Amino acid sequence: MNDVAASPCPATRPALLGLQDVRVHYPMGTDWLGRPKAVAHALNGIDLDVQAGETLGIVGESGCGKSTLAQLLMGLIKPTAGKLDWVYRNDSERSNHVQIVFQDPQSSLDPRLPVWKIITEPLFVQGRMPRREMREIAAKVATQVGIRTEYLDRYPHQFSGGQRQRIAIARALSSDPDIIVLDEPTSALDISVQAQILNLLSELQRKRGLTYILISHNVSVVRHMAERVAVMYLGQIVELGSAAQVLEHPRHPYTQLLLEAVPRLGVSVDDAHASAPTELPGNRNLPTGCFFRDRCPKATLGCDQPQALLPARASGGAEHVRCHLEAQA
């Protein structure tokens, strides 16, 4: 669990999806004129490319916008501003090219449905399909995730936590998506099962050329799985680069603080939950200048200006950072 994933040059893979200056703002309540009383600024200018076949880790403390980003990629919410462009899609007519595996398979699987129906849920979006064909697809993906086909008529409560997460993975696979968002995929599981699920995910990625977006508080898991890592703070990406660089030699002061709160390499998965270095400021009124300015130990002149995500100095353009001390002038 403590090895750093091999990290090919971050720019070598073709882009699948590009986000440009994407913002998601939620109006909160309304006054007597129907105007929003406040606005939650969940995403505040996300620039990101998702590359075909990669595992992109997303880290950042609770409330920084990770799940909002996942919902956006899944098409469940629309950007308030900015652009989200699919560069490549293997079928432009399909609506379910992004699927998700949630943290807790206990609550994410409908207890009233037999496993084969759960697995084929995403196919209902695509329209009617004969029952026999659905069962065939369910059997195929169940086998791929290590669930025996004779269990397809059983119900979720008849499985262990690890098996339920395998069923959730099978459900994500059944519509043959390009991208799977993994939102804390192992944090609700026993430690003994976590590594099995991560290995299964790696194997499926190799066999099917899947792209993963891995959201996790657990830096060990990200280190093990991801090739690139994006670090989020208050709805922005503050650092983006190869997992080896970002997690071993972080450049942004926030990433440095976040990782200082995590035990070093060589610890088991359960010890490695990042505790937030400080509490995230409210997102109703965004700070001016650098969003991290109030807490940054390195804050100096120039930090009162808005910061852009720019190539880091001495990184050859591969790493990006939102801090004028580290970015190329």
Ligand X SMILES: Nc1ncnc2c1ncn2[C@@H]1O[C@H](COP(=O)(O)OP(=O)(O)OP(=O)(O)O)[C@@H](O)[C@H]1O
Q: Which residues pair with 311 in a beta bridge?
A: 320
Q: Which of ligand SF4, Mg ion, ligand X, none has residue 45 at its interface (CB below 5 to 8 Å by kind)?
A: none
For residues 13-41, b (16+ Cβ closer than 10 Å) or e, as one string? beebbebeebbbbeeeeeeeeeeeeeebb
SS3 254: helix
Single out the segment in contact with ligand X by CB under 6 A; choices: 66-74, 89-97, 201-209, 295-303.
Answer: 66-74
Q: Which of ligand SF4, Mg ion, ligand X, none has residue 296 at its interface (CB below 5 to 8 Å by kind)?
A: ligand SF4
325 sits near ligand SF4 (criterion: CB under 6 A)? yes
Which of 57, 63, 162, 253 binds ligand X (CB under 6 A)? It is 63
105 sits near ligand X (criterion: CB under 6 A)? no
Tokens, residue 63: 């409330």
185 sits near ligand X (criterion: CB under 6 A)? no
For residues 255 and 230, the answer to whether their CB atoms sit within 8 Å is no
- Please, which residues have CB within 8 angstroms of residue 6's CB and are 6 or more apart in sequence? 227
Q: Which residues pair with 49 in a beta bridge?
A: 18
Which of 4, 299, 308, 310 binds ligand SF4 (CB under 6 A)? It is 299
Q: How far apart are CA 68 and CA 327, in angstroms?
A: 27
Q: Which of ligand SF4, Mg ion, ligand X, none has residue 307 at its interface (CB below 5 to 8 Å by kind)?
A: ligand SF4
Phi, psi at 28, each rounded to 5°? -120, 110
Q: Which of ligand X, Mg ion, ligand SF4, none has residue 26 at its interface (CB below 5 to 8 Å by kind)?
A: ligand X
Q: Which of ligand X, Mg ion, ligand SF4, none has residue 290 at its interface (CB below 5 to 8 Å by kind)?
A: ligand SF4
Q: Which residues pair with 84 in a beta bridge?
A: 19
Contacts to ligand X by CB under 6 A: 26, 40, 42, 62-68, 283
Binding residues vs ligand SF4 (CB under 6 A)? 253, 290, 292-293, 296, 298-300, 303, 307, 323-325
